């Protein structure tokens, strides 16, 4: 795909966007360098989206960090990159083909060899920098990444003012010597590039007016949302790609008054959190699909005892250990059906970090209001990926604890029944410690007091009561979101993290294509809004569903709930997210 | 309060003569003598004959899943330290499916009391071998005799760092009551493994079997229950003689004492309100 405009990338004086990628072995500091680069550009007024690829190991292997810098909000990546930084030969072997025509390659001339003919072929400018030597001179080989960062900044016309500040912030905990060495390394890379690059090599990303943005992952945003919403107990067992929720919450636990428990396994995780929820503390657990498999036993208990619990599944590519560090959206059908028996649950899926924040606090409310499990389905792409969003605040955060009786209310009740049959199915709770509010939270089917009960009529009454809660929630559940031209007859359907790539690609389309397309996003997947779905899909001439799984799990859910079978599916299940090129091509053909 | 104030309207459904009755009565008397009220007690029950106590004891009750009583109890106690949290589970329940939780609960030392109903087999599922069943025993699931070695809750708890390791006998309800009282007042995880003969399925480990073998450590001259080596020695005595009573106790800090955020008011009693996150968000700017 030769694009003539792109040949001029590095002679242009300024541009609106840039894709930068750095590759090397695990342990080379790829991600920390990448995040610093991202933060530098956020502070320079740009929007950021990043994407990492790494194998499940601590040393060796091939790691890459890709960063999209844009003047406009960005939530997706291109396959092609403008600047590639190769800290090792493997990066050249594996990622060279991704460099845009006219792009740049910065490589460590101490370690990497580049064939000149290959460069000429794509008009790629190469900058050989003795990264290892310069890093050693600055104080240690490990800082190759920071030397490369300095060189990259020079290449795009930035000064080191903001970068020095970020380096200081980043390394201050490690002591002044480390800070000083890294600043030296940054300058060494910058100076080397300045001396050795020719004028036409320089592209400009000028400093823009600062925005009030933050750079955050959906995992952290979700955690922050839950904190804002009064989370009191979080339990987890480490599992990629959910672990950064655990790490973040554990780090801030003491100062926020939160209890974080890393338990012995996900079974214990779920039951501990349930114990905390039972006595009235807002509780959440987080894992990925494998851990959720262990939690399924408890999921049924959450629903049967009508205890509020938020469960987060940050999906990765399964089954079994699968592709532990890669992305996929293949747990929807699993979560819909997880655990024996037929019982209500609420399932929601954030499309980006901002939605993850919102769901973090809303899920706690819904769990309390409807006394049932609320499951948040996220995935590796957004869970671990960093993006710029407007600074988060608590303006829209509200606390609704649902029906919890006060001691005064309870004292007026003659004979308290925890599982009393009510019109909406929701029975007021008491919390252990309250006088006259005793009950059994029973894993056996139970009567309205909580006593084990196997009677036919009671069974039906209790099942129906629990199900009524879901019907009640369905009445107020937000509808799927519509983007694009709401009257268009071509409808694109998606859920979860594909939001970024679909909306970014849509924006890039010519107006005459755009006007023919509307896009429907499901934030809530269960209960399922069949009526709204039918209204949209029955007025569509063509439907395209886009999912990161092999069989179209939302498509199957839609078929189950509406009878509408979507034939046109764009599915990807190689562990990689959709690239913008994938979606633009699909929408142009659509 | 009297013992019967801890009865629900449900009559225990255990078999006549079941060892569970002794534990039930000892527990209720211990609660009365400690001055506890039903609303301040959270009973966490497992699944099995022992777990059916959930319906019989008047208290706040969490009837957990098979093997999962301990994690729920730990979560509840961390969230509301004002509750007296007592776990009742069987040996099959607690040492079979729940074995990993048991070891980690001992390590963690949350301030809860774990009373196991140890009848050395699975009773509610009609008499299969349990982790505590004697090697060689023929049961429905091991018709040619159990190949596995018997699990020893006492030595396991000691090895995992147990701060209160004890054994009771449902044939001596008074002794058991005192032991349970000590366990509840112990600051940290307290284990009371109770020999509780199953009159229906276990024809070997009967009341008589234990009366003939048990000796009370409280009455053993020179026994020091703060000496872990002595405790190990007694834990390993098995066969013609078996020790019961408090094998070992130390005062290591309970789990919650390692959490500064739990100082002051119990977590569950703090008002849930929107938390200011401005300072936290600044880190991402």
Which residues in chain A (568-587) have CB-CB distances under 8 A to chain B?
none
**Residues B100, A265: C-beta atoms closer than 8 Å:** yes
How far is the alpha carbon of A432 from chain B, nearest alpha carbon, in Å? 6
Structure tokens at B103: 């070891």
Choosing among A281, A309, A453, which should be mutated to test the B contact, i.e. which has the most B CBs within 10 A?
A: A281
**Chain A contacts of B65, Cβ < 8 Å?**
271, 297-298, 301, 443
Average pLDDT of chain A, as a whole number:
95
Fold of B3-282: Rossmann fold (3.40.50)
The full set of domain ranges for chain A reads 4-211, 216-390, 407-476, 481-589
Buried b (16+ CB within 10 A) or exposed e, A288-326: bbbbbbbbbbbbbbbbbbbbbbbbbbbbbbbeeebbbbb
Cβ distance A76 to A505 under 8 Å? yes
Choose among A224, A229, A275: nearest Cβ to B75.
A275
Choosing among B71, B78, B99, B266, which should be mutated to test the A contact, i.e. which has the most A CBs within 10 A?
A: B71
Instruction: For A395, name the nearest residue in chain B, comparing CA atoms only.
Output: B274
Q: Report residue B81: phi and psi, to 5°.
A: -70, -15
**Chain B contacts of A436, Cβ < 8 Å?**
39
Average the pLDDT over B171-177 and give the result.
97
Kindly give the pairing relationship between strand B242-249 and strand B164-169.
Answer: antiparallel
**Residues B78, A436: C-beta atoms closer than 8 Å:** no
**Residue A589 burial (CB < 10 Å; 0-12/13-18/19+)?**
exposed
Choose among B80, B103, B274: nearest Cβ to A432.
B80
Sequence-ordered alpha helix ranges (H) in A440-540: 456-476, 498-507, 511-514, 530-537
Which residues in chain A (2-61) have CB-CB distances under 8 A to chain B?
none
How far is the alpha carbon of A297 from chain B, nearest alpha carbon, in Å? 8
**Residues B39, A261: C-beta atoms closer than 8 Å:** no
Choosing among A271, A285, A418, which should be mutated to test the B contact, i.e. which has the most B CBs within 10 A?
A: A271
Calpha distance A338→A316 (Å, rounded): 17
Choose among B65, B100, B277: nearest Cβ to A394.
B277
Structure tokens at A504: 């970014």
A233 closest CA partner among B253, B104, B270, B108: B270
Partners of B61 in beta bridges: A440, B43
Average pLDDT of chain B, as a whole number:
97
CB-based contact, A439 to chain B, within 8 Å: yes
**Residues B275, A261: C-beta atoms closer than 8 Å:** no
User: What is the full DSSP assignment across B141-202?
Assistant: S-TT---SPPP-HHHHHHHTT-SEEEEEETT-HHHHHHHHHHHHHSSS-EEEEEE---TTT-
CB-based contact, A514 to chain B, within 8 Å: no
**Chain B contacts of A252, Cβ < 8 Å?**
280
Which residues in chain A (462-501) have CB-CB distances under 8 A to chain B?
none
- Number of C-beta neighbours around residue A210 at 10 A: 10
Instruction: For B40, name the nearest residue in chain A, comparing CA atoms only.
Output: A433
Choose among A233, A268, A442: nearest Cβ to B104.
A268
Identify the H or E element spanning B78: helix B69-79
Choose among A264, A401, A444: nearest Cβ to B63.
A444
Choose among A232, A259, A275: nearest Cβ to B72.
A275
pLDDT at A29: 87
pLDDT at A16: 87
**Chain A contacts of B47, Cβ < 8 Å?**
443
Choose among B267, B269, B277: nearest Cβ to A228.
B277
pLDDT at A405: 98
**Residues B281, A232: C-beta atoms closer than 8 Å:** no
Cα–Cα separations (whole angstroms), residue A71 to A40, A44, A79, A102, A185: 14, 10, 19, 21, 28
Calpha distance A403→A4 (Å, rounded): 64
A84 closest CA partner among A72, A94, A73, A70: A94
Cβ distance A166 to A172 under 8 Å? no
Triad A273, A275, A280: Cα angle to 5°: 95
Residue B283, pLDDT above cutoff 60 = yes
CB-based contact, A339 to chain B, within 8 Å: no
Calpha distance B113→B100 (Å, rounded): 17
Low-confidence ranges of chain A (pLDDT < 50): 1-11
How far is the alpha carbon of A254 from chain B, nearest alpha carbon, in Å? 5
Q: What is the ipTM of this complex?
A: 0.97
CB-based contact, A278 to chain B, within 8 Å: yes
Q: What is the CATH number of domain A216-390?
A: 3.40.50.970
User: What does the pLDDT look like over B82-105, one tens digit per residue?
Assistant: 999 999 999 999 999 999 999 999
Choosing among B56, B284, B285, which should be mutated to test the A contact, i.e. which has the most A CBs within 10 A?
A: B284
Choose among A214, A229, A254: nearest Cβ to B284.
A214
**Residues B83, A273: C-beta atoms closer than 8 Å:** no
Cβ distance A263 to B71 under 8 Å? yes
How far is the alpha carbon of B244 from chain A, nearest alpha carbon, in Å? 30
Decide if A216-390 and A481-589 have a common fold. yes
Choose among B62, B63, B281: nearest Cβ to A391.
B281
CB-based contact, A226 to chain B, within 8 Å: no
Identify the H or E element spanning A235: strand A233-236
CATH class of A481-589: alpha beta
CATH 3.40.50.1970 fits A4-211, yes or no: no
Calpha distance B42→B54 (Å, rounded): 10
Choose among B42, B47, B272: nearest Cβ to A401.
B272
- Confidence label for B63 from pLDDT (cuts 50, 70 and 90): very high
């Amino acid at each position: 795909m030769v694009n003539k405009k792109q040949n001029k990338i590095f002679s242009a004086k300024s541009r609106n966007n840039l894709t930068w990628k750095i590759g090397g072995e695990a342990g080379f500091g790829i991600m920390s360098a990448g995040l610093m680069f991202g933060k530098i550009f956020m502070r320079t007024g740009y929007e950021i989206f990043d994407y990492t690829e790494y194998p499940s190991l601590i040393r060796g292997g091939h790691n890459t960090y890709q960063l999209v810098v844009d003047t406009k909000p960005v939530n997706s990546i291109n396959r092609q990159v403008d600047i590639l930084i190769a800290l090792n030969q493997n990066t050249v072997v594996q990622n060279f083909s991704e460099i845009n025509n006219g792009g740049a390659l910065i490589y460590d001339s101490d370690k990497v060899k580049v064939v000149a003919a290959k460069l000429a072929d794509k008009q790629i400018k190469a900058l050989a920098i003795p990264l290892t030597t310069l890093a050693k001179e600055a104080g240690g080989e490990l800082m190759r990444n920071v030397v490369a960062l300095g060189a990259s900044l020079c290449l795009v016309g930035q000064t080191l003012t903001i970068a020095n500040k970020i380096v200081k912030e980043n390394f201050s905990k490690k002591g002044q010597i480390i800070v000083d060495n890294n600043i030296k390394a940054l300058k060494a890379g910058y100076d080397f590039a300045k001396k050795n690059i020719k004028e036409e090599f320089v592209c400009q990303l000028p400093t823009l007016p600062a925005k009030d943005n933050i750079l955050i992952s959906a995992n952290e945003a979700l955690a922050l949302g839950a904190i804002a919403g009064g989370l009191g107990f979080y339990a987890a067992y480490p599992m990629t790609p959910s672990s950064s929720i655990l790490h973040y919450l554990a780090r801030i636990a003491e100062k926020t008054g939160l209890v974080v428990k890393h338990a012995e396994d996900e079974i214990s995780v779920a039951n501990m959190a349930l114990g905390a929820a039972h006595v009235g503390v807002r509780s959440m657990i987080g894992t990925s699909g494998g851990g959720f498999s262990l939690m399924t036993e408890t999921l049924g208990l959450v629903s049967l005892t009508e205890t509020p619990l938020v469960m987060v599944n940050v999906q990765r590519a399964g089954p079994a250990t699968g592709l532990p560090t890669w992305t996929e959206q293949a747990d929807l059908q699993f979560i819909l059906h997880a655990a024996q028996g037929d019982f209500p649950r609420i399932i929601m899926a954030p499309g980006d970090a901002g939605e993850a924040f919102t769901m973090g606090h809303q899920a706690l409310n819904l769990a309390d209001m409807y006394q049932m499990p609320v499951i948040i389905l996220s995935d590796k792409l957004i869970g671990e990926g960093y993006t710029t969003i407007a600074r988060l605040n608590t303006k829209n955060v509200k606390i609704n604890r649902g029906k919890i009786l006060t001691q005064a209310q309870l004292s007026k009740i003659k004979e308290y029944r925890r599982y009393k049959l009510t019109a909406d199915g929701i029975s007021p709770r008491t919390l252990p410690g309250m006088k006259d509010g005793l009950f059994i939270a029973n894993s056996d089917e139970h009567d309205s007091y909580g006593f084990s009960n196997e009677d036919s009529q009671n069974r039906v009454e209790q099942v129906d009561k629990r199900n009524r809660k879901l019907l009640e929630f369905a009445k107020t559940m937000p509808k799927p979101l519509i983007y694009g031209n709401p009257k268009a007859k071509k409808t694109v359907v998606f859920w979860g993290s594909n939001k970024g790539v679909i909306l970014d690609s849509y924006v890039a389309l010519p107006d005459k294509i755009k006007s023919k397309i509307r896009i429907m996003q499901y934030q809530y997947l269960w209960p399922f809004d069949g009526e709204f779905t039918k209204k949209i899909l029955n007025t569509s001439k063509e439907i395209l569903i886009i999912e990161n799984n092999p069989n179209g799990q939302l498509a199957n859910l839609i078929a189950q709930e509406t009878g509408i079978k979507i034939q046109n599916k764009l599915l990807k299940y190689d562990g990689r997210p959709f690239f913008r090129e994938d979606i633009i091509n699909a929408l142009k053909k659509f | 309060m009297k013992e019967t104030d801890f009865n629900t309207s449900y009559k225990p459904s255990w078999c006549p003569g079941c060892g569970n009755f002794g534990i039930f009565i000892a527990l209720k008397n211990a609660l009365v003598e400690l001055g506890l009220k039903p609303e301040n007690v959270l009973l966490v029950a497992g699944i099995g004959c022992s777990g059916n106590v959930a319906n019989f004891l008047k208290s706040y009750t969490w009837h957990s899943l098979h093997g999962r009583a301990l994690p729920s109890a730990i979560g509840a106690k961390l969230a509301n330290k004002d509750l007296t949290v007592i776990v009742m589970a069987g040996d099959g329940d607690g040492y079979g499916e729940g074995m990993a939780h048991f070891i980690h609960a001992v390590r963690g030392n949350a301030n809860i009391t774990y009373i196991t109903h140890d009848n050395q087999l699975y009773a509610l599922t009609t008499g299969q071998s349990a982790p505590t069943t004697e090697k060689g025993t023929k049961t429905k699931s091991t018709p040619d005799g159990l190949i596995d070695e018997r699990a020893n809750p006492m030595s396991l708890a000691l090895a995992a760092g147990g701060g209160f390791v004890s054994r009771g006998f449902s044939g001596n309800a008074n002794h058991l009551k005192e032991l349970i009282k000590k366990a509840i007042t112990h600051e940290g995880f307290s284990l009371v493994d109770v020999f509780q003969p199953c009159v229906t399925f276990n024809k070997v480990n009967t009341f008589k079997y234990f009366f003939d073998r048990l000796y009370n450590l409280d009455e053993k001259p020179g026994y020091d229950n703060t000496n872990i080596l002595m405790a190990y020695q007694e834990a390993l005595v098995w066969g013609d003689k078996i020790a019961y009573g408090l094998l070992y106790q130390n005062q290591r800090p309970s789990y919650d004492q390692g959490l500064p955020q739990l100082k002051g008011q119990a977590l569950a009693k703090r008002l849930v309100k929107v938390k200011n996150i401005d300072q936290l968000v600044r880190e991402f700017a």
